[in-house]
Amino acid sequence: MKLKPNNAADAKENSTKNMTRRQFMGAIGHTASGMAVAGGLVMVYKFLYPNVLLEIPSRFKIASINSLQPGSHVFEPEHRVFAFHDTRGYFFALSAVCTHLGCTVAWKSEGITGHKEGIFLCPCHGSEFTKEGDVIRGPARRHLDRYHMAVDEGQLIVDTSETVNTIEDMILKV
């Protein structure tokens, strides 16, 4: 692969023009191998990325409107979602997945000082959230995921793939 020029400046000037046959074949060979390796890596990455997931559908019925009494809530463990019927007359749904590192938060109806209406407590590293999902205490830094429920033939429907940002958007008045 080594070019043996008479002097270095000459070599620099001629290196593109006067490529030896060996250099040319070498360049083709290395390019081809490089492309094959890159293609292989892309294929392996795609192979590792499953196209069909064995996961539960994101849209599901969490409760029927009539069975969820004011002041009560339900928890759906498969999707890890809470649905509340607030005593002020509206419904809302929150994800139970802690925004710190993903453990399932527990509902503590007795609440704590300043949050008598109840709080969510994460068993893993102690994050606390208000009833509407805002952070009271870290390590979590983001509010719990909020969902706007749909009503279909008297059933409350949650779609975990669609979150909303504000408490107002989350609230469902029926």
Partner 1 sequence: MQSKPWRSVFRTALPIKTNLDRSLVMFNSLALHIQPVKVRERAIRFSYTFYLGMISFFLFMVLVVTGILLMLYYQPAIPNAYENMKDLQYVVSSGIFLRNLHRWAAHLMVISVFLHMLRVFFAGAYRPPREFNWVIGVLLLLLTLLLSYTGYLLPYDQLAYWAVTVGSNIVKYVPIIGKNIRFVLLGGNTIGEYTLVRFYVLHCVVLPLFITSLIALHFWRIRKDGGLY
The label of the residue with tokens 């527990």 reads 106
Secondary structure tally for the chain: helices H, strands E? 3, 11
Does residue 130 interact with ligand FES by CB under 6 A?
A: no
Take residue 98 and report the two structure tokens written for it.
């802690």
Q: Which of 92, 119, 127, 133 binds ligand FES (CB under 6 A)?
A: 127
Residue 53 interacts with which of ligand FES, partner 1, none, CB < 5 to 8 Å by class? partner 1
Cα–Cα distance measured from residue 119 to residue 173, given in angstroms and rounded to the nearest whole number: 22
CA angle 105, 107, 109 (to 5 degrees): 160
Closest of 159, 172, 170 to residue 58, by C-alpha: 159
Partner from ligand FES, partner 1, none contacting 127, C-beta within 5 to 8 A by type: ligand FES
Q: Which of 83, 94, 119, 140 binds ligand FES (CB under 6 A)?
A: 140
Q: Which is nearer to partner 1, 22 or 59 (CB)?
A: 59
Cβ neighbours around 63 below 10 Å, total: 20
Which one of the spans 51-59, 68-76, 98-106, 165-173 is the region binding ligand FES (CB under 6 A)? 98-106
- The rounded distance, in Å, linking the Cα atoms of 40 and 36 is 6
**Binding partner of 74, given partner 1, ligand FES, none, CB within 5-8 angstroms per partner class:** none
100 binds ligand FES per the rule CB under 6 A: yes
Tell me how far, at minimum, the Cβ of 113 lies from ligand FES, in Å: 20
DSSP letter (8 states) at residue 136: E
Tell me which of 62, 93, 98, 144 binds ligand FES, using CB under 6 A: 98
Q: Does 103 bind ligand FES (CB under 6 A)?
A: yes
Give contact residues for partner 1 (rule: CB under 8 A): 45, 48-50, 53-55, 100-103, 124
Beta bridge partners of 115: 112
**What is the Cα–Cα distance from 137 to 141, expressed in whole angstroms?**
8
Which residues lie near ligand FES (CB under 6 A)?
A: 98, 100-103, 122, 124-127, 139-140
